[in-house]
Amino acid sequence: MFDDFTNISKQYYNPIDQPILKELQFSVKNHEYKIKFGEDNKVIKKQKHEAIVKTIDQGQISRNAYRNLAAIEDELPREWAISSQRIQINKEMEHEVKIRTVKMPLCDNTINLTDNPDITDPEIVDEIINSIGKGGQRSIKDILKYIVPDLIKKHILNLQQPIINLRISGDGRNVGRKVKHVMVTFAILDDINNIHNPNHHHTIVLYPGSEDYKSLDITMISFRDELRELTEKGLIIDKINWSFNLYFSSDWKFLAICLGFNAANSLYFCPWCTISKKQVANINQEWLISKQMNQLNQNCNAYNGHNLPPLFDMIPLDHWIPDELHIMLRITDRLWNLVLHEIKETGYFNDIAREIIVKEMNKIKVRFQFWQEKESQTWNHTSLMGEDKLKVLQFFDLGKILSPSRAKIIRKLWDEFYNLYMMMCNSNTNPKEFKENAKNWLELFLTPSTGTPNNNNFIQGLYRPNDLTPYIHVLIYHIHELMEKHKKWGLKSFSCAAVEKKNHQQISEFFRKTLKDGGVNQKSAIIQILEFENRKLYYTTHEISQTHSKIEKLRINII
């Protein structure tokens, strides 16, 4: 009988498995028994405090705000109790996943970013500029040891096939016009359902400063040593030796820096093949991924345009995958600017044309405006975000600003580019079909004029080889090959949107004075971010219920 009760008690009063039971009544041979469980039980209290810490983390509630809430509502634990629970989790996690600081080289503050700032809040910009000089890092091996058992439990990794596919990514956000917030992350590709969730991209390196080779080289020394070890020896976790396949994915700029390669506007512009700008006009030539990482490892100048040793020398070049979103964004920019250029050339870029464009943008629900730069007198316009670019690409009525025949052919070019982008994002796309469509699109882009100008037989073509960009080259010649090679994952799995989102969120959340922890020993925001990430790991491996069960009494009759 006692055993039975123990089982019941376990079932309904296991502090790990909610619901929490406050009272248990049972009868044995007509004798009534009632057991009350004390609410101040240490375990329940810990559970409750952990749930509050987790809720505070998820909602980014500041210590002051919580203190005020606790002052209003007596039932809420005091702020100091919650803080001490947070410190407890941090300490526990510090044993598992260590956080280290890295001293950064002096940042060149004279640089002015050419791109528009991603973050403009002056309070955040000030905080980031003040925190330049120190970076933070965690060990990928520590994190893997912590998360792999959970991934096995969830059947994402398989003990019978101990192989893990890792995706390394990086991102630099522009904070104001002088500084970047740079983040290097890794994610488990095998956990494909979570690959677009920022919480499943784990930060390894983090610093405010420059997005350049020198800074990344210094901050990633131990990360690269670990990656080399993972690829050469693997990693033993609970007596199983896991081996690793590595992939790298980022926007063009970050990718080129990590490859020790030129900027995209150089003569030799392609990270994957040896094409030069002088060869882009020859559209009949095939360009396949021809560069080899081991060649670059022997001599970093092995190919034109490569100047420095690749930072991820352990990742084969056909595992370096460009971000599909940036390909769409940059090519759409090009298509849009070519249209604006055409209107300017014909001399119709006046107030009326600008008004028509703004009206059409409003019609398709895109916020857009033109303004004239004071010094240069040139006209500038709103730079569009991803979603808005897709709307323009699909719905902008070119007939409003171009002649019907021009509008028709350019609309065809835009529609077919949109279709290519959709194909690129779809993991079921046949790479051969994509290659064919991409080639046809290039031919359309380069449609030559026919007939004699100013004559009735003259039909104006589209664009010249000089109008092609490195992104277009990659879309036409390399995407189908990468698509074929990485069919298992689909190119969309290498999208960097989740990492960008993560970087943006963390800057906005941690570099605001009002949200920071008070106190004399104020920690740097970088360390706070990494502690926050450690706590997120803790939450994934500990079941913390954030809802209270309504079951408080249970009556059991044992006959």
> Taking the complex as a whole, how short is the minimal distance between the CB of residue 291 and Zn ion, in angstroms?
9
Terminal CA-CA length for the chain: 11
Instruction: Indicate the residue among 13 and 287 with the shorter CB distance to Zn ion.
Output: 287
> Taking the complex as a whole, how short is the minimal distance between the CB of residue 173 and Zn ion, in angstroms?
28
**Long-range CB pairs of 447-453, under 8 A, 24+ apart, other chains included:** 447/409
> Taking the complex as a whole, how short is the minimal distance between the CB of residue 460 and Zn ion, in angstroms?
30
Q: Does 252 bind Zn ion (CB under 5 A)?
A: no
> Taking the complex as a whole, how short is the minimal distance between the CB of residue 273 and Zn ion, in angstroms?
3
> Taking the complex as a whole, how short is the minimal distance between the CB of residue 265 and Zn ion, in angstroms?
15
Pick from 461, 427, 431, 468: nearest CA to 447 = 461
Contact stretch for Zn ion (CB under 5 A) within 208-216, 279-287, 342-350, 437-445: 279-287
Q: Does 293 bind Zn ion (CB under 5 A)?
A: no
Taking a C-beta distance cutoff of 8 angstroms, is the pair 290, 262 a contact? no
Identify whether 19 is preceded by a cis peptide bond (ω within 30 of 0): yes
Contact stretch for Zn ion (CB under 5 A) within 58-66, 286-294, 414-422, 457-465: 286-294
Instruction: Indicate the residue among 226 and 251 with the shorter CB distance to Zn ion.
Output: 251
Instruction: Indicate the residue among 286 and 387 with the shorter CB distance to Zn ion.
Output: 286
> Taking the complex as a whole, how short is the minimal distance between the CB of residue 269 and Zn ion, in angstroms?
8
Coil, helix or strand at residue 246: strand
Instruction: Indicate the residue among 21 and 275 with the shorter CB distance to Zn ion.
Output: 275
Phi, psi of 237 (to 5 degrees): -125, 120
Angstrom distance (rounded) from CA 223 to CA 241: 20
Contact stretch for Zn ion (CB under 5 A) within 167-175, 201-209, 262-270, 314-322: 262-270
> Taking the complex as a whole, how short is the minimal distance between the CB of residue 242 and Zn ion, in angstroms?
34
> Taking the complex as a whole, how short is the minimal distance between the CB of residue 478 and Zn ion, in angstroms?
6
Taking a C-beta distance cutoff of 8 angstroms, is the pair 119, 504 a contact? yes
DSSP for 173-232 reads EEETTTEEEEEEEEEETT-GGGTT-GGGSEEEEEEEE--SHHHHHHHTHHHHHHHHHHHH
Taking a C-beta distance cutoff of 8 angstroms, is the pair 485, 433 a contact? no
Instruction: Indicate the residue among 287 and 396 with the shorter CB distance to Zn ion.
Output: 287
Contact stretch for Zn ion (CB under 5 A) within 142-150, 198-206, 264-272, 539-547: 264-272
Using CB under 5 A, pick the residue from 273, 339, 482, 526 that binds Zn ion: 273
Q: Does 272 bind Zn ion (CB under 5 A)?
A: yes
DSSP for 477-529 reads HTHHHHHHHTTTT-GGGG--HHHHHHHHHHHHHHS-GGGS--SSSPPPHHHHH
Residue 489 CB partners (closer than 8 Å, separation 6+): 165, 189, 192, 427
- What tokens appear for 489 in the block? 């994952």
Instruction: Indicate the residue among 237 and 270 with the shorter CB distance to Zn ion.
Output: 270
Q: Does 270 bind Zn ion (CB under 5 A)?
A: yes
Instruction: Indicate the residue among 20 and 273 with the shorter CB distance to Zn ion.
Output: 273
Instruction: Indicate the residue among 183 and 472 with the shorter CB distance to Zn ion.
Output: 472
| Residues binding Zn ion (CB under 5 A) | 270, 272-273, 275, 287
